[in-house]
């Protein structure tokens, strides 16, 4: 092959082209490529951080649904417990219960007298003296029904005597204890 001979003008044009290309590359690199790549890198980190936050929020939301369901079940349990062990005396409700059960089991409640209350660690025992009249079986069913009520009630110190002039009727006295929550 023959050697190429370049003129001085051609060499100057090539050198100028190389310098121009070098300057263009320099400006492209430092004023366009590097700032853009830094912005892309920063935005990529922001996107990754936001995605991590979104995933974390989704996990917390999933837990929140579980917590919401658990809270609802705990509220239901609290309501059930408060029916068994109310915070107040609720004597009208207790009186309605006694009246309803006495009619159902054919027992005549002669008197209900408050007998005081005693505070125990977590609850208060509220006592009522009750006098009643009915057959032995009806009184037994009545006392059983009282013990099976949703509210916690106990019958203590039952004293029964036969009614004068009757084989099946008896009179009785007992202490009904209703419990009240102290919390």
The span from the CA of 124 to the CA of 102, in Å, is 25
Q: In whole angstroms, how far apart are CA 102 and each of 41, 55, 108, 126, 141?
A: 82, 62, 6, 20, 10
Q: DSSP state, 105?
A: T
Three-class SS state of 133? strand
What's the confidence (pLDDT) of residue 88? 67
β-pair partners for 125? 118, 179
pLDDT tens digits for range 103-119: 999 998 898 888 888 88
Measured on CA atoms in the order 12, 17, 22, 26, is the torsion positive or negative? positive
| Average predicted confidence (pLDDT) for the chain | 84
pLDDT tens digits for range 42-58: 888 998 999 999 898 88
The span from the CA of 161 to the CA of 132, in Å, is 11
What's the confidence (pLDDT) of residue 131? 92
The span from the CA of 32 to the CA of 40, in Å, is 12
pLDDT in tens, the chain (183 residues): 567 787 888 888 888 899 989 988 888 888 888 888 888 888 889 989 999 998 988 888 777 777 777 888 888 887 777 766 666 666 778 888 888 988 999 998 898 888 888 887 878 888 899 999 988 888 889 989 988 888 888 888 888 888 777 777 888 999 998 888 776
Query: Residue 165 region, left (φ>0) first, then alpha (ψ -120 to 50), else beta?
Result: left
What's the confidence (pLDDT) of residue 129? 92
The span from the CA of 54 to the CA of 36, in Å, is 26
């Amino acid at each position: 092959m023959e050697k190429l001979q370049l003129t001085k003008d051609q060499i100057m044009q090539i050198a100028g082209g190389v310098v121009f290309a070098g300057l263009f590359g320099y400006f492209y690199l430092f004023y366009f490529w590097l700032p853009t790549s830094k912005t892309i890198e920063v935005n990529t980190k922001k996107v990754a951080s936001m995605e991590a936050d979104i995933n974390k929020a989704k996990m917390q939301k999933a837990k929140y649904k579980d917590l919401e369901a658990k809270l609802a079940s705990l509220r239901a349990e609290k309501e059930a417990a408060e029916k068994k062990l109310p915070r107040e005396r609720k004597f009208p409700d207790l009186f309605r219960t006694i009246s309803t059960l006495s009619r159902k089991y054919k027992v005549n409640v002669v008197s209900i007298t408050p007998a005081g209350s005693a505070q125990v660690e977590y609850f208060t025992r509220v006592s009522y003296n009750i006098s009643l009249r009915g057959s032995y079986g009806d009184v037994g069913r009545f006392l059983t029904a009282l013990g099976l009520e949703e509210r916690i009630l106990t019958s203590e110190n039952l004293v029964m005597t036969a009614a004068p002039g009757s084989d099946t009727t008896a009179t009785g006295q007992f202490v009904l204890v209703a419990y009240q929550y102290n919390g």
